[in-house]
Structures are given as C-alpha cells and as structure tokens.
Structure 1
C-alpha cells in the first residue's frame, strides 16, 4: 500500500509542537508494518538541510506567487523516510517558525504557502509529478495540509483515497475570502457547504469536508469536537460526518523517549530500578537554581504557555502548592502575560520556583526525567504527549479530565489526607472543572501520595508499564486505509491532464474542473 503523508513540520528538523513528533514517528511505524510511505513537506530551510540524497523530481515553475517551484525527493536525515520537499524559496525561505515571523505575527501569504503544499501533494498522489510513484492514500495532517483533500476532490483523475487528521481544531487556517481566487479551485468550493466559514476561507474545513475519513489524535477528542463546547464552531460539520470521524491515539517513540538509555539525562533508570531518577532530580534542581532537597516534591510544566494549556490555573494554585512544601519548574514559551507571570513567581520564590523560557528539546528530557510530577491542566487537549512522556519516565501526571488525557491517565482516587484507598490501576491524578480550586485538590492528593513512598513507587511503576506504542496506532491507521480504496494500484484515468499550478497573477490557472 502506497501512502503519502502531508505535513508542515517533522521532528527533529522543524518542531513547534506535538504534530512534528507524530509526523516524525508515524511514517516509520507504518513502514515497519510493510507500507510504502512517503512524505510531502514544505521547503523550509531546516527541512531542505535535513533532506539527504536530494534530487530534483521536476520543475513546477511559477506557482502560488512564487516565481520558481522545484519538487525534490530524498530521505529525512536520521529516519531514512522517503520525502518530497516543495522547494519554493520565495514562500518558505524565511526566519521564524513555519507559520509565523520572528515577532509572532502570521505570514500574510500563509494561504498561498500552504495551498501550494496541498496542491503539490494532490498531484503527487495522482502520479502526475513523479511518474514512478502514485499514492493509494493521501493522509493530510492539520489545517496546513488540509487543502490537499480539496485538490484531490477537484482532480478529474485522482484515485487516491483521503484521510485528514485534526491535531488541534482551535487552529483552523482562516483567511480573507479575497484569497480564494489564488487557490485555483472552481467557484463552487467557496460556498457555505464547502470552504466558506462565517465569511472567511477555512483550510481546516477543506479537510473536514473533503477527506473520506477524518481522524483525531485520541478517541475522546473525536467525541468532544462534535459538541458545541469543543467544536470551535465546526461541530455541526463534524456531526454531519457521523461515523467517518474517529480517534486514533498517538504513540510514543521509544527510541527517543526511554529513560533506560536516554543520552541527555543525568542517569539512566528503569521501573525495576528507580535510583537514577533521584540523580536526575538533583541535577535538574541544580540546573534551575532550586534547593536540592530529595524529599521535596518537584512539579513540572513543559508546555506552550497559553490559556488552552490551563497554565493560568497553575499560577492561581501556586500559593497552595508552595504552602505544601512543593517546588515548581517550568519550561516553555507563549503568551507574554503568562511568561511574565511565571517569571515574577520565580523571582518572588527563589529556590522554590524556577522558569526557563523558550523550548529546548534536550532540556525537555531533563525536565521529564527530573520532576516527580508533571502538570497538564489543559482546558482542552486533543491528545497530549507530555503526559505520555511523563508516564514513560516514572513522572506522575496531574491532568484535567479532558481529551486525550482521559485516554492515557487513570486517576488515583483517594483524598488530600491520603486516607482513602487509591485506585489499584492508577497512573496519575485527574481533576474536572477548569478551576484553580479543583486543580488545588488534585495537587493536594498528589502531595499526599508522594509522602507515602510505597504508594508513589506503585504509581510510577504502573505508569512506566503503559504501552503507548506507535505500532498499535500504525495498525489502526492501516486498517482504516485498507477499507477506503478498492482500486489499489490503478493509475489515473485516461486523459489525465498535465497539472498547471495557480500563479499569483492568474489565480485560477490550474487545470481543475470548473
């Protein structure tokens, strides 16, 4: 089975969040199950630099505002996964992250930048840009790749089945409707039943409407986004898809996240021998300027600092946490008011609160290994990888009862006094309402359990025994793919046109059906 995965970022070349981890791991897991997998990625500087054995597949020419677009093929450095890279310097050779300038402003031509990615993917899938390969399934990840599903739908000859995965419905790729003529699609695509969304152009809706199957990154989130509370205005569209929407839980790459042979952390350890974790804790306390106190519970946050992640709740609950004699370590960046508030808390409580602004992949490993407990109090959470990494490292997660957190953490029960019997299957602590008081109760229960070494060790060991294998997720995706397309291996229908991409001037010059 030939599968084309389309995404805007990939670990370790470009990463802004969990999407990159998924794109870095899922193709390898699918290949291990026997699939023929290739990637389509934008030609960001780091991606071009990480493309080994690079060769030109074809010259596309002027497209989507770029004077020159070249399609390259090679393998991703470190993983060996085959990849096509859309080399368009005018659109992709920029500082900042894939979506924003260094000042955190959105690039004004993002519609063209990511429409090009989807257009190229659709024509690769149809076998028109690389005559030696065409896809049975095109799998687009999040709004950045969603237009690929619309372009496949508009293509007169494509036989590729389409899957679209929602990684975070809150980020939808909304653009001015005046950008629509730049996409080269028939006018019927800019209707309320298509890409129009409350007077805007929605890339997310392209995936939701035109993919044959829609997945999310956890089963609970798949159910949540069909409700007004979590649907971000698209719940009606999602409900209309019915059983076409499902959730497949993300996995953890054991080659990268494994405390027994992690080269970054201060000492290796395993569930059968946790002594190395105490070494990691002491090293982290020293690195952050915290008091090196083995018996003090150390809570961690490794996250984007945004309201979605519930980190304002952490700030509100912090006085109660410190009153219990606990420490807090934070790594992340995001909203400036939250960055300032955590920095102020660190200044007000030296030795007990520490903050490292920015994201550093290696230091994230040190945080997960060195903390006793990891806070993930999200208001909504499509899957969450931090809590799964924490479980893998014997770091007990404290999470909100929402999204993928529900699918990965079993609440310990008990009470703040440690008197009630804990859940014998527990792996962490959970709270319900997104309120500081609810989080505070969960933190009190966590500290109470920490004060009981046998209870705490059992929590750690059960967490480390959890199996979040990418092989499991890959088999679920393969079962979905196999049910989609009865025409595996068939080429494009006779008379398939040579694709011509839209340019900035021509707008609708693409040879797509009117």
Structure 2
C-alpha cells in the first residue's frame, strides 16, 4: 500500500501542538509496518539548521493561485526510513510563526494545490491520501472538483483527521475563484458553505472517504452542539464514516529507563530512581526536598481551554494542604501573572516557571507524584499519557481523550491509573485532588499499585497505528 501523509507541521522540523507530534510519529510507525509512506509539508524557513543542511533540491514548477503564478520549489529529506517532501515558497512560508496571518487562506490554498500537483511530478500516486486539519482539508474536495480530469488521481482514497475542530479555515466566497481558480457552484448550493463563509473543514468532512479524530470520545463529542463548533450537524450526517483513533506517544523519547533529562533512570519493575528525580525537581524549582509530601505538577499552555481558571480558583486552598505545586508553561498573561503572584506568596510550597523548556518538562513528568490536567475539552491530549509512562498519576477532567486514557481510581477494587472528575467546576477539581492527596498520604501500597498500573499501560504508536492500518485497509 502507498500512503501520502499531508500536514502543515511535523516534529522535529516545526510544530505548535499535537498535530506536529502525530505527523512525526504515525508515518514513522507505518513504514515499520511495510506501508510505503511519503510525508509532504510546507517548507517553513524556521526549520532547525541541522535538518536544513540535509535537504536536497529536487525540482520546481509554477502553481496558479487564481491569477497569481507562484513559484513552487520541492526539497527532499530522507530520515527514519521516510521520504519527506517540503513545498518551498519564501513569500508564503518565510514567517516567524506557522499560522495566524491575514493571508493564511492563500498560503494554505497554495500548499494544497502544490501537494496535489506534486504527486504526478514525483511519480508517487498513493492508494490513500491522509490529510490533517483545515490546512489540508480541501484536498479531497479539490481532487473531485478541480483535478478530476487527471485519470491517475481518480482511484486515490482520502482520510481526514480532525485534531481540533475549533480551527476550520473560514474564508469569503471569492476564495474559490480568486485562489483556487474554480467556480462558486459548490458554495452557492451550500455544499462547502457554512454561514457566510467557505469552510475548508466542512469541505474535507463531506468529500473525504473517511473522517477520524484523535480519540473515540472526542469523535462522539464533536457530534454535539456543545463541542461541534458549528459542524456537529454535518458530522452527525456523516457519522457513518466518522471514527476515533487514540493518539500514541513516542516511546523512544518518553522512556524513564533511557531519558537523558533524568538524573536517575527507573522502570515499571524498579521505580526506586523516581525518588531521586523528585528530589532534583524540588531543588531545581527552589523548593525544599520533602520526599513524604505529594508534589503536584503542571506542564501546559495556560489557557481557559486547558482549565486553568479552575486551578487558580482553588490554588490557595490547595496550598493549605501539606503539598508542593510546580508549574511550567506560558499562555494567557492574566494566568501567568496570577500564578506568579501566588508563588511569591507561598515560596515554600509553590514554584512556577513561565517558560517553554522541553528538558524541564521531562524532569517534571518524572519527578512529580501527581500531574494536573483539568482541560475544558481535549481532543486527545498527550501529557497525561507521558505522565503515566513516568509513573506520575494524572488528575483529569473526564472529557475527550482524557476520559479514554485515564482510568479513575476505584477505591473498592483498588484499580485505576489516575483520578478523574466529571463536572467542570473548581469545586469538583478540588474534591478530586483531595482524594489523590489522601491516597498518597494514607495508602502507600494502593498508590504504588496505581503507579504500576499507569506505567504498564501501552500508549505506544506501535499499538495505536493499528487503528490507522485498519482504516486504510477498509478503503483499499
């Protein structure tokens, strides 16, 4: 089987979130399963130099973006058994950030047509073309409405993965003739229109052969008014081709037995080294090393979506308990300032780092006892899986991927891999945290069992990619 995987970001080249992690990990696993895989990405010039040096210029051609004739360079890189192609255009992709520009519609219109027109030129016609989020969601529509005259493309099957339905790519009607060089018939008859806008995501949902999202619960949630961001009716209509496949995490990077960020390595069968990592984390964050006190950690963007208004509502109450609290993240300036203010008032118990630090994040996953993730919604979430891999028990709002990955503690059976609360309120968050603190303080044996359970869970991409293999095989 031949697969083309198209996305707007991919680690380690450039990423802003979960899409970049999936684009890095899934194709790498598919190659191991003997799927001939090519990854196509934009060439964002902020790519780290060590990868730029390995790029090979393959060809260039011209893309008609409406009336504009735009240069399209193609660069190639071989890595991890994969072939990566990068679409090069300085005007569109030589920017400080990946997204958030007034001309994003034009930038991603160019990218999508370039991906389609690249396939014949590199002689790679895939059996399945896998697109991701709104940046590439118009490709299934374009294949059927603009490029249907190319016979080689007619047998291509398409999959759209929705990583976050909030971002849909909504632009004016004139985008169809002005950027894609097409008529407005499918806009006028309502097919690709949502409200008064052309909606890239809606087009992808309707024209893809399969649609999936990154957890089974999120696939159900986005069919509701509360979580569907206006597309819930379309998703209910297309529910026959909608599924949820849980993301995995990279077990090579996130491994407590080998992680270079850790001061001591440990495993599910010998967790003694975890205590050394807790001691180091406490010292790094300016807290007194206290092995007997539960250490609660946060590694996140500080936003309302991630639920940090709930944490701030209760943090000073939480600090009345015999605990320590550490936080690493950036986000809403109001949240940043309030966390810093509380840390200044409680320096013995609370320490925050308003920064982005991958090395410190790994130390927090390994050194903490409890990992806090109270998201309002979470398509999948990776941090809770990473924390479990390191034997740090998550406290989560039972929503989306958090619900699918964290088994709440059952005091009767002594089972579970963490703690969960259902009602999205600061009161229920605090009650859940109190349960975790009480178990840590009073039942070391039960806590130890939960840590063993959490570390024994298999969230590897090797396992998770089986769901994608089944999806592709259902099409071919």
- Tell me whether the two structures share a fold, i.e. TM-score over 0.5: yes
Question: How has the CA–CA distance of structure 1 residues 267 and 135 changed in structure 2, closer, same or farther, with 3 Å as cutoff?
Answer: same
Provide the residue aligned with 1:244 in structure 2: 241
3-state SS in 1 of match to 2:319: helix
Distance across 1 between alignment mates of 2:418 and 2:190? 43
Provide the residue aligned with 1:426 in structure 2: 416
Question: How has the CA–CA distance of structure 1 residues 424 and 274 changed in structure 2, closer, same or farther, with 3 Å as cutoff?
Answer: same
Q: 1:168 aligns with which of 164, 168, 172?
A: 164
Contact 1:30 1:474 in 2 (8 A): yes
Distance across 1 between alignment mates of 2:82 and 2:465? 15
TM-superposed CA distance for 1:172, in Å, is 1.8
Report 1:10-409 matches (<5 A): 10-47=10-47, 49=49, 50=51, 53-61=54-62, 63-64=64-65, 67-76=70-79, 79-95=80-96, 97-99=97-99, 106-124=100-118, 127-130=119-122, 132-154=123-145, 155-156=147-148, 157=150, 158=153, 159-180=155-176, 181-191=178-188, 193-409=190-406
Contact 1:66 1:88 in 2 (8 A): no
TM-superposed CA distance for 1:442, in Å, is 0.3
Question: How has the CA–CA distance of structure 1 residues 357 and 270 changed in structure 2, closer, same or farther, with 3 Å as cutoff?
Answer: same
TM-superposed CA distance for 1:189, in Å, is 3.3
**Unaligned 5+ runs, structure 2:** none
Q: 1:449 aligns with which of 422, 439, 449?
A: 439
Contact 1:57 1:73 in 2 (8 A): yes
3-state SS in 1 of match to 2:296: strand
**Unaligned 5+ runs, structure 1:** 100-105, 415-420, 486-514
Distance across 2 between alignment mates of 1:48 and 1:63? 30
Distance across 2 between alignment mates of 1:66 and 1:448? 66
Question: How has the CA–CA distance of structure 1 residues 393 and 482 changed in structure 2, closer, same or farther, with 3 Å as cutoff?
Answer: same
1:454-488 per-position Cα deviation (integer Å, ceiling 9, x unaligned)? 11111111000001121222222112112213xxx
Distance across 2 between alignment mates of 1:201 and 1:377? 34
Distance across 2 between alignment mates of 1:239 and 1:477? 21
Question: How has the CA–CA distance of structure 1 residues 177 and 329 changed in structure 2, closer, same or farther, with 3 Å as cutoff?
Answer: farther
**Farther off after superposition, 252-261 or 142-151:** 142-151
Distance across 2 between alignment mates of 1:366 and 1:66? 49
Given the alignment of the two structures, is residue 474 of structure 1 paired with residue 465 of structure 2, yes or no?
yes
TM-superposed CA distance for 1:327, in Å, is 1.7
Higher RCO, 1 or 2 (CA under 8 Å, sep at least 6)?
A: 1
Contact 2:44 2:94 in 1 (8 A): yes
Q: TM-score scaled to structure 1, two decimals?
A: 0.87
Q: Alpha carbon RMSD of aligned pairs, Å?
A: 1.8
Distance across 2 between alignment mates of 1:342 and 1:242? 42
TM-superposed CA distance for 1:242, in Å, is 1.8
Provide the residue aligned with 2:6 in structure 1: 6
